[in-house]
Amino acid sequence: MRATFVLGRIAGVRIGVHWSVLLIFGLIAFGLARGRLAAAYPDSPVAAYWAAGLLAAVVFFASLLAHELAHAVVARRNGVDVDDIVLWLLGGAARLKSEAADPAAELRIAGIGPLVSLVLGGLFVLLAWLLHLGSAPGLVVESVAWLGAINVLLAVFNTIPAAPLDGGRLLRAFLWWRTGDRLKATVGATAAGRVFGWLLVLVGVVFFLSSGFFGGLWLAIVGWFVIAAATAEGRQAQLRSVLAGVPVQDAMTRDPVTAPSGLSVADFLTGPSFRYRHSAFPVVQDGGVPAGLLTLDDARKVPWDRAEEVPVDEVMVPLTDVTVVAPQDPLADLVPRMEPGPRNRIVVVEGGRAVGILTSTDISRTVSWLMNFTSQGRKG
């Protein structure tokens, strides 16, 4: 699941938000303000309903973030780096830079998220009870009680054995342990995810057509997201299997055209080296040390009357936001991190110098070559 926009970083992990979060945020706030809270305390001011509903929605998404950060912390403790966290319709997803080393590590990484949500749910329920004993305002007690219930529900929902839910990863850990084959385990978990998704779609459509119940339509939408995410996860697993054992240097474009640090945007746009073939260029300092990544699109956004004054360093993507790898790194580990668009090029660095650049096209070309080679080998 790709982030629509980025909120920032926590402990070095980029935090992104998918557009579907805005939809669920609005539905939660509206449902609480005009539904549950208004029904429980009908004599309160309208503004109080909305304030409580919006605040509860914010705290809920903070709970989702805590759930995903728990995945990230445990993943790091098990030797797996985390690329980013994306909050989306079904909660969130921590995108890992590599696979867990064994089924036990997979189990720990997947299981900590629902456990954190369950603990948060219990804490919110306890807090609601204490607030009630302390005669706190009813809207506050009701909002905290809802947060307790929704976190427990989130923990239960996430343990359903279907990818891309945490339960899908728990299922994959189990299948991996039983079969000893990580790819087969992933295929099984993603197949379960698609079945579960289609079940949600079917049940949702039946509810909606038979009763006009809007919740049925919402259930179908959730099911569609599950199907799409499970399918993408399965496709990535197959690609990683094909690319197993292939280093980055076998697929990268070597000796890329680079833009020197301090070059003006005008010189970059008019320079013959930058006009053709490529849409993104590593920006390098003296000695070929990479400083960032510059795209033609970003350079063209600079007004022409300022292009002579603005250096490329001001409009480039800083190196901290660029994926940097070594030539010997496994190519398969980069599949989940590849995104379309020139800003998402991967810079290959060796000895402190930029020696290559990697795009999704490079990976696709390598996959095609390997599959054709394998096919010809079988025919022979």
Q: 193: how many CB neighbours lie within 10 A of its CB?
A: 27
Please give the structure tokens belonging to residue 151.
């976190």
CA distances, 69 to each of 14, 15, 76, 350 (Å): 11, 10, 11, 31
Q: How far apart are CA 62 and CA 102, in angstroms?
A: 30
Cβ-in-10-Å burial (0-12, 13-18, 19+) of 320 comes to exposed
Q: How many whole angstroms from its chain centre is CA 9?
A: 13
Catalytic pick from 68, 99, 106, 142?
68
- Is 68 noted as a catalytic residue in this protein? yes
Percent of residues in the chain assigned helix, strand, coil, to nearest 5: 60, 15, 20
Nearest to 99 by CA among 155, 176, 157, 158: 176
Query: Containing H/E element for 69?
Result: helix 46-77
Q: Which long-range contacts (CB under 8 A, 24 or more apart) does 270-279 make?
A: 279/342
Q: How far apart are CA 114 and CA 93, in angstroms?
A: 13
Please give the structure tokens belonging to residue 296.
């033609």
Helical pair 360-379 and 214-242, crossing angle rounded to 10 deg:
60
First-to-last C-alpha distance (Å) of the chain: 40
Using the structure block, give the residue that is written with the tokens 């985390």: 82
Q: Which long-range contacts (CB under 8 A, 24 or more apart) does 371-377 make?
A: 371/242
Nearest to 222 by CA among 251, 201, 243, 247: 201
Strand partners, 91: 88
Q: 352: how many CB neighbours lie within 10 A of its CB?
A: 9
Using the structure block, give the residue that is written with the tokens 């980069």: 334
Residues labelled as active-site residues: 68
